[in-house]
Amino acid sequence: MLNELISWVLNTYLGKYLEDFNPQQLSVALLSGEVELENVPIRKDALRSFGIPVQVHSGNIGKIKLQIPVRQFRTAPWCIIIERIYGVFGPKDLDDWDDEKEKNSEYEFKVAELDAKEAKWRVENGYQIDSYYSNSYTSWLNYGTTLATNILENLELKINDVHIRYEDAITVKGIYFAAGIKINSLTVQSCDSNWQARSNATADQNISYKLIELKDFSLYWDRLTEANHCSQLLSKELLEHMNKLCDARKHHYILQPISAHAHFKRECCKQAIRSKSKPRLNCEFQVQEVKISVSDLQYKQIVDCVYGLRQINRTRSYKLMRPSCEVFENATLWWKYAAKCHGFIHRSNENKWTKLRENLRYMRIYKRLLINPNDNITAEERDFKAHMEKTRELHELHNLRTVCRTNIFTNDVNLRANSINHGKSMLFHWFPNWWGWYGNTESSVVTAQDEAYKNIEDDIFNALEDTIENDPFSKRDMVFGYFSFILVDGQLIVSTEDVAYERTAVNFEMDFQNLISFIEMKPKFSTYVIGISLGSVCLKDKLTKNTEFPFLVKPQFDELPTKPLPPSTGYQLVDFKRFFTKEQHVDSAPEPWFQLSYEKGPPDIQSDMRLVIKSRSLDIVYNKHAFDCLKSFFVKPVNDVYFKYKLTKSSQNHLKFLQNWQQYLIGNKKELSAVSYKYLCRFVITS
pTM: 0.78
Q: In this structure, which amino acid lies at residue 383?
A: D
* Predicted pLDDT of residue 36: 83
The rounded Cα 19 to chain-centroid distance in angstroms is 24
What is the C-alpha separation between 560 and 537, in angstroms, rounded? 10
Chain segment 472-492, per-residue pLDDT in tens: 556 778 889 999 999 999 999
Terminal Cα distance for the chain, rounded:
76
- Average pLDDT (428-440) is 46
Of 362, 411, 358, give the one whose Cα is nearest residue 131.
Answer: 411
Least confident span in 145-149, 156-160, 440-444, 503-507: 440-444
Q: What are phi and psi of 3, to 5 degrees?
A: -60, -40
| Three-state SS at 70 | helix
> If you average pLDDT over each of 198-202, 243-247, 588-592, 664-668, which comes out highest?
243-247
The yes-or-no verdict on residue 111 having pLDDT over 80 is: yes
* Predicted pLDDT of residue 567: 46
Q: Which residue has the higher pLDDT, 146 or 304?
A: 304
Confidence of residue 552 (pLDDT cuts 50, 70, 90): very high
- Average pLDDT (487-509) is 89
Q: Are 408 and 370 in contact (CB under 8 A)?
A: yes
* Predicted pLDDT of residue 478: 85
* Predicted pLDDT of residue 423: 45
What are the residues whose beta carbons fall under 8 Å from the beta carbon of 363, sequence distance 6 or more? 400, 403, 404
What is the C-alpha separation between 328 and 397, in angstroms, rounded? 33
Task: Please give the angle made by the CA atoms of 280, 284 and 290, to the nearest 5 degrees.
Answer: 160
What is the C-alpha separation between 45 and 423, in angstroms, rounded? 35
Chain segment 536-551, per-residue pLDDT in tens: 999 999 998 888 899 9
The yes-or-no verdict on residue 623 having pLDDT over 50 is: yes
> If you average pLDDT over each of 202-211, 275-284, 482-491, which comes out highest?
482-491
Q: What are phi and psi of 638, to 5 degrees?
A: -70, -40
Q: Which residue has the higher pLDDT, 451 or 592?
A: 592
- Average pLDDT (426-442) is 45
- Average pLDDT (311-325) is 90
- Average pLDDT (280-303) is 94
Task: Please give the angle made by the CA atoms of 590, 512 and 553, to the nearest 5 degrees.
Answer: 95
* Predicted pLDDT of residue 409: 66
The yes-or-no verdict on residue 616 having pLDDT over 80 is: yes
Distances (CA, A) of 570 to 59, 581, 587: 46, 19, 11
* Predicted pLDDT of residue 297: 93
* Predicted pLDDT of residue 413: 46
Q: Which residue has the higher pLDDT, 21 or 510?
A: 510
Of 431, 359, 441, 439, give the one whose Cα is nearest residue 401.
Answer: 359
* Predicted pLDDT of residue 55: 92
Query: What mean pLDDT value characterizes the chain?
Result: 78
Q: Which residue has the higher pLDDT, 595 or 35?
A: 595
Confidence of residue 300 (pLDDT cuts 50, 70, 90): very high
* Predicted pLDDT of residue 436: 43
The yes-or-no verdict on residue 665 having pLDDT over 60 is: no
The yes-or-no verdict on residue 70 having pLDDT over 50 is: yes
The yes-or-no verdict on residue 213 having pLDDT over 50 is: yes
Chain segment 263-275, per-residue pLDDT in tens: 999 888 878 888 8
What angle do the packed helices 99-125 and 394-411 form, to 10 degrees? 20
The yes-or-no verdict on residue 223 having pLDDT over 50 is: yes
Of 205, 207, 211, give the one whose Cα is nearest residue 190.
Answer: 211
* Predicted pLDDT of residue 6: 64
- Average pLDDT (232-239) is 84
What is the C-alpha separation between 599 and 526, in angstroms, rounded? 11
- Average pLDDT (456-482) is 62
* Predicted pLDDT of residue 233: 86
Domain ranges of the chain: 480-621, 626-686
* Predicted pLDDT of residue 559: 53
- Average pLDDT (367-378) is 84
Total length of the chain: 687
Confidence of residue 385 (pLDDT cuts 50, 70, 90): very high
- Average pLDDT (165-178) is 92
* Predicted pLDDT of residue 399: 93
- Percent with pLDDT over 90 in the chain: 33
The rounded Cα 135 to chain-centroid distance in angstroms is 27
